[in-house]
Structure 1
Amino acid sequence: MLSAVALTAGLTAPAALAGERGDDFGQATLTGWAALPAETFVPGSEPSGAAIGAGPFNGIAAPFADQPVQGFSGVVNRHDGTYDVLSDNGYGAKANSADFLLRVHRVKSDTRTGQVKVLGGFNLTDPDHKVPFPLTRADRTLTGADFDVESIVRSYDGTLWLGDEFGPFLLHFSPTGKLLEAPISLEGVKAPENPFLNGGTPNLGGSKGFEGMARSVDGRYLYPLLEGTVSGDTPGDLRFNQFDLKSGQYTGKRWTYRLESPAHAIGDAIAVDKHRFLVIERDGGQGETAKVKRIYLADTRDRDHDGVMDKTLVADLMNLANPKKLGGFGETFTFPFQTIEDVTLLDDRTLAVLNDNNFPFSSGRTAGKADNNEFITIRLDERLHADPRAFF
């Protein structure tokens, strides 16, 4: 529950905030660190990884006797000290992920001990045959060959909305993972993996669909953000669409998020208020080659009238102050992972950020060693002056 102070602060924010002026924030500070070991598996689950080769990959041989708990590509704060985290499609491609079961895990992070615990979770399923195209499994448990889920939002009615990259589709699930309606397409946009392509030409790169998705603070809209540029758009420009949960349709409104470089990608997006959103932007590097891992405050009001969302840098994840040397790291902490795909608000100056470890392929923390799933909290140099509803 928000304190009276937080509520008052959100409602009485000054007219000209740092983010609204376009001024970058100062250096953010690491306030918590914890990690889930790379080789963490769902107990008693099915074998997985048969199509990725024998490896070893960063010292880990395949296939696996159980389903790995990996690839955190979306996060929902449950406000009870636990989080629902979404695993992505498994092993990075439609062709090698048919034996990976799409799943939401419930985790608890203890930054005092540096441990992340998996408390349980549920698989995503389609028992009511809402998907109109063939699925991988006869039991209609969804797999990484069916969808590449990369973003998750909990609506005010408790149901879950997921953003997929293969369509791209919006997917609506019950709180326990049952698909509630047919996948919802984005008109005029098709990825190469789209099952309705029918020999047509895709106009979006492979797995470049809905990487990030925000829920409006009033709960009325979803804002799915593409990871890739649609053919014909300016390279590096990403479409930020508005979907009306009340009508179940796209409104036709959209904005443009411009990457700092067309070679970059986004990792996640969440709402701060009616107009402002936090967006993770990253390069494709890891370890020593990781240079750009940032969180921007993006504003749909386009105050400089250049046709794209205004951007304010609020946190450079490659340059976090760490005065307490948390996690055994030095006074400057870096988050040098290839894919950083999760951000959520904890309070008006504190964010939780998680990486997608691409198990077993990524090795950004230590060369030659499979990355853990890390969970960090960071304190921003300035307040966001967020709408109080953004915390729910």
Structure 2
Amino acid sequence: MKRIAILICAGATVLSLAAPAAADPEPGRHDRPEFGRATLTGFASLPAQTYVPGSEPSGSLLGTDPVNGLTPPFPGQPVQGFSGIVRRHDGTYEVLSDNGYGNKANSSDFLLRVHRVKPDFKAKSVQVLGGFNLTDPRGLVPFALTRQDRTLTGADFDVESIVRTQDGTHWIGDEFGPFLLHFDQKGRLMEAPIELPGVKAPENPYLNGGQPNLGSSKGFEGMARSVDGRKLYPLLEGTVSGDPAGTLRLHEFDLRKRAYTERRWTYKLDDPSHAIGDAIAVDADRLLIIERDNLQGEAAKVKRLYLADMRDKDRDGALDKTLVADLLDIADPRGLGGAPGTFRFPFQTIEDVAILDDRTLAVLDDNNFPFSNGRTPGKPDDNEFITIRLTHGLKADPRVYR
């Protein structure tokens, strides 16, 4: 969470996405008009004050001053902070809560959890069907954990991205290491945390007084699974020291060898102050990536979905970016999200995207409970779940959404 937070066979088919308008005067620019204005096709919302039934209190380290009208500590574990999503193909989704309340120091009583949710777009509501906590019962984490029962908390890891592999297990990207974490279907850790060679954040438990080369909680914010299921593509949220400002490293991890390969790419932010929110594979060469500014509400200016091509056709050393949807300018002719007209998704952190079909995407916010108030000033944001229809098909590998 950041307070105020599957790859790819297009070839020449990318060209067929171009709108039949005038030729692009600057080929290779990421803002060329291949895609027009997306349309809102579904809206559902989960109230901010939704807690896991029968769960432990949380937020005891936030003090006692009201935050957006709510006074901590809270009566349970909030169902919040959705920072990763997995589509289950039965109308339900698994969503990952991040480290809790924003940082290592204040999140030791927040239990890391994957929730199972089901949006009802007719009722405009989201049902929480259950979920599982993340645990380490086998003692695979070699450093000290917060709890003796080895239930993982927001002081142990900052989990921000999730994929499900073909065997039904989950790989989760962490920002504190950054680490890759492998869990079974019940949320039990299956392997020791896997470090990213040569990169350490300030929270890394192996720093041992050394100098970090990545910003605080700037590790694996997004992670895609290759469409053949053999690779992971974790994407850092922050720039590694010595790299050009605003450039993010995209790595390749071989699931069969359990090791990083020598392949690496660069994603260049539109502005160094921006951040990425999620990544998902479209085919063997392209990803969908959320890029955002750190603002919310009326102040928000950049909440975008880009197609990012790893082939680097313009040879500038970075993934080629094509704007797919502006999440602050979504057509809503039926008034699904309010009054008919323009729908805005003005949250500070938008961290979930799933491909439903070749033209339809699901997008969710991370509401940073109780801190973010991008929808209504002074009121904690709900967890909103929207679907949007693109003006053109992605020409995605069918395995992505089948």
TM exceeding 0.5 = yes
CA distance in 1, matches of 2:222, 2:61: 27
CA distance in 2, matches of 1:376, 1:226: 25
Q: In the alignment, what sits opposite 2:189? A: 179
Corresponding residue SS for 1:328: coil
Q: Answer yes or no: is the 8 Å Cα contact 1:13–1:385 preserved in 2.
A: no
Match among 42, 57, 61 for residue 47 of structure 1: 57
CA distance in 1, matches of 2:11, 2:372: 44
RMSD: 1.5
In the alignment, structure 1 segments of 5+ residues that lack a partner are 1-9
Q: In the alignment, what sits opposite 1:228? A: 238
Offset, 1:330:
3.5
Runs of 4+ in 1 over 3 A off after TM superposition: 10-15, 19-24
CA distance in 2, matches of 1:84, 1:54: 32
List per-residue Cα deviations over 1:280-306 (Å, max 9, x = no partner).
Answer: 000000001100000000000000000
Q: Answer yes or no: is the 8 Å Cα contact 2:42–2:386 preserved in 1.
A: yes
Q: In the alignment, what sits opposite 1:3? A: none
2:79 is aligned with 1:69:
yes
Q: Answer yes or no: is the 8 Å Cα contact 1:167–1:185 preserved in 2.
A: yes
CA distance in 2, matches of 1:335, 1:189: 33
Q: In the alignment, what sits opposite 1:196? A: 206
Offset, 1:327:
2.6
Deviates more, 1:377-386 or 1:19-28: 19-28
Q: In the alignment, what sits opposite 2:17? A: 18
Q: In the alignment, what sits opposite 2:22? A: none
Offset, 1:13:
8.7
In the alignment, structure 2 segments of 5+ residues that lack a partner are 1-8, 19-26
Structure 1 residues 307 and 15, CA gap change in structure 2 (3 angstroms): closer
Q: TM-score, normalised by structure 2?
A: 0.93
Q: In the alignment, what sits opposite 2:143? A: 133
Higher relative contact order (CA 8 A, sep 6+): 2
Offset, 1:389:
1.2
2:362 is aligned with 1:352:
yes
2:238 is aligned with 1:239:
no
2:162 is aligned with 1:152:
yes
Corresponding residue SS for 1:17: helix
Q: Answer yes or no: is the 8 Å Cα contact 1:58–1:363 preserved in 2.
A: yes
Q: In the alignment, what sits opposite 1:211? A: 221
Q: Answer yes or no: is the 8 Å Cα contact 2:10–2:283 preserved in 1.
A: no
- Which residue identity lines up with residue 314 of structure 2 in the other structure? D
2:325 is aligned with 1:315:
yes
Identity of aligned residues (%): 70
2:266 is aligned with 1:267:
no
Count, aligned residues: 383
Offset, 1:11:
9.9
Corresponding residue SS for 2:400: helix
Q: Answer yes or no: is the 8 Å Cα contact 1:191–1:208 preserved in 2.
A: yes
Offset, 1:14:
4.0
Match among 318, 337, 346 for residue 327 of structure 1: 337
Q: Answer yes or no: is the 8 Å Cα contact 2:10–2:285 preserved in 1.
A: no
Q: Answer yes or no: is the 8 Å Cα contact 2:99–2:155 preserved in 1.
A: yes
Offset, 1:328:
2.1
Q: Answer yes or no: is the 8 Å Cα contact 1:151–1:212 preserved in 2.
A: yes
CA distance in 2, matches of 1:17, 1:348: 14
List per-residue Cα deviations over 1:82-112 (Å, max 9, x = no partner).
Answer: 0000000000000000000000000000111
Match among 355, 380, 387 for residue 377 of structure 1: 387
- Which residue identity lines up with residue 123 of structure 1 in the other structure? N
Q: TM-score, normalised by structure 1?
A: 0.96
Q: In the alignment, what sits opposite 2:398? A: 388
- Which residue identity lines up with residue 251 of structure 2 in the other structure? N
Q: Answer yes or no: is the 8 Å Cα contact 1:114–1:327 preserved in 2.
A: no
CA distance in 2, matches of 1:254, 1:298: 14
